[in-house]
Amino acid sequence: MIRSRQFSAVPSRARRGFTLIEIMIVVAIMGIFLAVGIPSILRTMKRNNLTTAVQNVIDGCAFAREMAIFRGIPHEFVIHADRSLTVEQAKNWSAMAGGSPAASSEAAPAPSGSPSKEAANYKGTLTDTVFVDALAVNFVDMNQTETDAVRVRFHPNGTSDEFTILLNSDEGQRLITLDIVTGKPILNAPR
């Protein structure tokens, strides 16, 4: 009996793999996608200095408001002369409440731990490329005063001091104000 060779239904050429032209086409398509996508990915990953400064101011104000409401003690958003941003418990808050420090501490016990250390959890900065063109607290131009720190007070009932800051850089300008009734920061349209 003669044995016949068995033939596969798949041609022998298909079993060998991809041709060089097919691989080059796939690599070219991948290159096009990377060339189109990488610049937008890099722009997204790189936050510009103005955006970072604006976000630091908004986050600091929001954090000071939250601390004042949750602790029942006024807190301040502080812009220091060295361009650092912090949140601190208001220093003379008991006198503002109309009582002596001893009477106030009896009426409203301080939370466990050191409130000023816990409140100082927020730290931000304004980079050297971002300039403060206008800065006003309670309608007083703070650029005209000699002070080492500008303080914006947030009260336990959710209200705050009036606050306006205009940040400027080569990337543009951003105006941030506080809604004094709610104490929430508002980013106004760029100028």
The DSSP-derived string for the chain is: -PPPPPPPSS-TTGGG---HHHHHHHHHHHHHHHHHHHHHHHHHHS--HHHHHHHHHHHHHHHHHHHHHHHTS-EEEEEETTSEEEEEE-TTHHHHTTS-HHHHHHHSPPPSS-HHHHHTT-EEE--TT-EEEEEEETTEEGGGS--SEEEEEE-TTS-B--EEEEEEETTEEEEEEE-TTT--EEEEPP-
Give the residue from 58, 90, 57 showing the smallest Cα distance to 73: 90
CA-CA distance, 73 to 17, in Å (whole number)? 73
The pair of structure tokens assigned to 20 is 């060089």
CA-CA distance, 135 to 25, in Å (whole number)? 58
pLDDT tens over the chain, length 191 residues: 566 566 555 555 556 688 899 999 999 999 999 999 888 877 766 667 888 889 999 999 999 999 999 999 999 999 998 889 999 998 876 545 544 443 333 334 444 444 444 445 788 888 888 888 889 999 888 877 778 889 999 999 999 999 999 998 887 889 999 998 998 999 887 65
The predicted pLDDT at position 9 comes to: 58
Contact 148, 80 (CB under 8 A): yes
Give the residue from 69, 165, 169 showing the smallest Cα distance to 119: 69
Domain locations in the chain as residue ranges: 49-188
The predicted pLDDT at position 3 comes to: 62
Q: Residue 125 CA to chain centroid, in angstroms?
A: 11
The CATH number, out of the four listed (3.40.50.2300, 3.40.50.450, 3.55.40.10, 3.40.50.300), of the domain defined by the range 49-188: 3.55.40.10
The pair of structure tokens assigned to 162 is 């009036």
Query: In which order are the strands placed within the sheet that holds 123-125?
Result: 123-125, 84-89, 75-80, 149-154
pTM of full prediction above 0.85: no
Sign for the pseudo-dihedral over CA of 166, 55, 160, 87: negative
